[in-house]
Amino acid sequence: MPTFSAHDLHRFVQGVVVSAGSTAREASLVAVQLVGSNLAGHDSHGVGMLPDYIANVLAGRLVVNQQPTVVRDSGAVVVFDGGRGFGAAVGQVAVDTAIERVAEHGLALIGLRNSYHLGRIGHWGEQIAAAGHVAVHFVNVAGHPAIVAPYGGAESRFATNPICVAIPGSGAEPMAMLDMATSVIALGKARVAFEEGRPVAEGALLDGEGRVTTDPSGMFAHPRQGALVAMGDHKGSGLAMMCELLGAALIGGPTIQPGNERDDAIINNMLTIAIDPAAVGDAEGFRREAHAFLDYAVTARLREGFDEILLPGQPEQRSRVARTAGIPVDDNTVAGLVAAAESVGVPDLGAALAS
Ligand code: NAD
């Protein structure tokens, strides 16, 4: 598989997004977000998203250079409407505001409605944690038909609604960060399996009749036949529902129910809660106790088949180290990137990438 440096991918993404009409700053934020996902090992949210973004800009479903509007501002509580702007840009305004307000009030609750895809949610949690604060994010995914079945359901009723909790460390990396979809697997993983003609793991998919299947083809039929399964049975299904209620309904954003607009866009609504440990108690004591607990947790005797216990966030940290040597991007994704560059009139950028 060809590999690329983060620098080359950043330059490519930025060039294409500028050609689609974004300012250099907005394009750079998009590049940082996408390439950062590849570096963290989440290729499903990496540069492979760019063709979808560009197609949606050209179709008018994603608005370039959008400034989020303030719907409410009462100090520690701010709600923005992202106006379908690039998630990397309107999300940055929301997260910068969270960092500013938590420093002022000890606690901040920031709502962001109607953002285009916010990408890897850990990108946002990491920034709040790097500023020394705890971050909690509940996010829903609307703007398109549901793809995940509720526990007990034979058809889908919500999407892969992610949740993220980041705990500050002593440097730029969080001490621990859980950043996860609430489905067993992301749709992107099912798509890769489908394209490669492989089955998916047992327990991740239902067919059109609601029976467990390992065949991903129904998910990509028109109309779609089947659904992703929520992780952890009723528990993950319940968490995904809470993402609809807290991440969207509470802050005035659209849930995925069919009374709201669905035009095949990827709309995220995100509730962000930022907590300054010093506002709650003893920040140093929190750090000490958190370390003591995490050290205890990872020293459990190992089950057969396991050779270590990782903290949430460690796989991403390891990936960032490993991928400084180069980011693998498969041929299909490269072809999609070349086509995206052509669609906005910069085929030379695509040719340079593919060469
Ligand atoms: P995942 O299953 O790879 O990881 C989930 C969490 O588990 C992470 O915190 C990771 O550090 C941790 N983890 C992974 N392997 C581990 C191990 N062996 N031991 C201990 N901890 C481990 O992630 P996912 O659920 O597939 O989600 C991938 C990304 O997709 C996330 O960044 C999420 O924010 C993003 N996402 C975004 C949207 C959106 O609409 N914007 C929707 C769904 C998911």
pLDDT (mean) for 318-330: 96
Higher-pLDDT residue of 334, 194: 334
Residue 319 Cα distances to 40, 52, 56, 255, 316, angstroms: 5, 25, 30, 33, 5
Q: How confident is the model at residue 48 (pLDDT cuts 50, 70, 90)?
A: very high
Q: What's the confidence (pLDDT) of residue 197?
A: 87
Q: What's the confidence (pLDDT) of residue 1?
A: 84
Q: Is the pLDDT of residue 228 over 80?
A: yes
Ligand 1: distance of its center to the CA of 314 in Å?
11
CA distance 114 to 253: 6
| Residue with the two structure tokens 């010093």 | 278
pLDDT (mean) for 238-249: 98
- 241/323 same-domain check: no
Ligand 1: distance of its center to the CA of 305 in Å?
22
Is residue 272 included in any domain, yes or no?
A: yes
Q: What's the confidence (pLDDT) of residue 195?
A: 79
Where is average pLDDT lowest: 49-53, 116-120, 194-198, 284-288? 194-198
Q: Is the pLDDT of residue 206 over 80?
A: yes
- 194/288 same-domain check: no
Is residue 327 included in any domain, yes or no?
A: yes
Is residue 304 included in any domain, yes or no?
A: no
Q: Is the pLDDT of residue 192 over 80?
A: no
CA distance 288 to 294: 10
pLDDT (mean) for 296-307: 98
Q: What's the confidence (pLDDT) of residue 69?
A: 98
- 196/341 same-domain check: no
pLDDT (mean) for 202-224: 94
CATH of the domain at 43: 1.10.1530.10
Q: What's the confidence (pLDDT) of residue 71?
A: 98
Is residue 310 included in any domain, yes or no?
A: no
- 56/142 same-domain check: no
Q: 153: part of which helix (H) or strand (E)?
A: none
Is residue 77 included in any domain, yes or no?
A: yes
CATH of the domain at 201: 3.30.60.50
Is residue 307 included in any domain, yes or no?
A: no
Is residue 309 included in any domain, yes or no?
A: no
Is residue 322 included in any domain, yes or no?
A: yes
Atom number, ligand 1, closest to the C-alpha of residue 164? 34
Where is average pLDDT lowest: 65-69, 216-220, 318-322? 216-220
pLDDT (mean) for 290-295: 98
Atom number, ligand 1, closest to the C-alpha of residue 118? 41
CATH of the domain at 100: 3.30.1370.60
Q: What's the confidence (pLDDT) of residue 202?
A: 92
Q: What's the confidence (pLDDT) of residue 193?
A: 85
Query: Is any atom of ligand 1 closer than 6 Å to the C-beta of 309?
Result: no
Q: What's the confidence (pLDDT) of residue 194?
A: 87
Residue 231 Cα distances to 28, 66, 186, 205, 245, angstroms: 34, 34, 11, 11, 18
Q: What is the pLDDT of residues 114-147, one digit of tens each?
A: 999 999 999 999 999 999 999 999 999 999 999 9
pLDDT (mean) for 227-248: 98
- 143/263 same-domain check: yes
How many domains does the chain divide into?
A: 3
Q: What's the confidence (pLDDT) of residue 12?
A: 98
User: Which residue range(s) make up the domain with 173?
Assistant: 66-181+232-297
Q: What's the confidence (pLDDT) of residue 15?
A: 98
Ligand 1: distance of its center to the CA of 198 in Å?
22
CA distance 68 to 91: 9
pLDDT (mean) for 59-75: 97
- 245/331 same-domain check: no
Atom number, ligand 1, closest to the C-alpha of residue 186? 26
Which of 95, 118, 164, 180 to mutate for ligand 1's pocket (most ligand atoms within 8 Å of CB)?
180
Strands 3-4 and 327-328: antiparallel
pTM, two decimals, is 0.97
Q: How confident is the model at residue 196 (pLDDT cuts 50, 70, 90)?
A: confident
- 207/127 same-domain check: no
- 116/53 same-domain check: no
Of all residues in the chain, the percent with pLDDT exceeding 70 is 100
Which of 124, 179, 306 to mutate for ligand 1's pocket (most ligand atoms within 8 Å of CB)?
179
Q: What's the confidence (pLDDT) of residue 41?
A: 95
At residue 141, φ and ψ (nearest 5 deg) are -125, 115
Q: What's the confidence (pLDDT) of residue 336?
A: 95
Cα dihedral 97/94/312/237 (nearest 10): 130
- 86/174 same-domain check: yes
- 76/128 same-domain check: yes
- 167/202 same-domain check: no
- 120/255 same-domain check: yes
Please provide the average confidence, as pLDDT, over all residues in the chain: 96
Higher-pLDDT residue of 190, 178: 178
Measured by CA distance, the residue closest to atom 12 of ligand 1 is 312
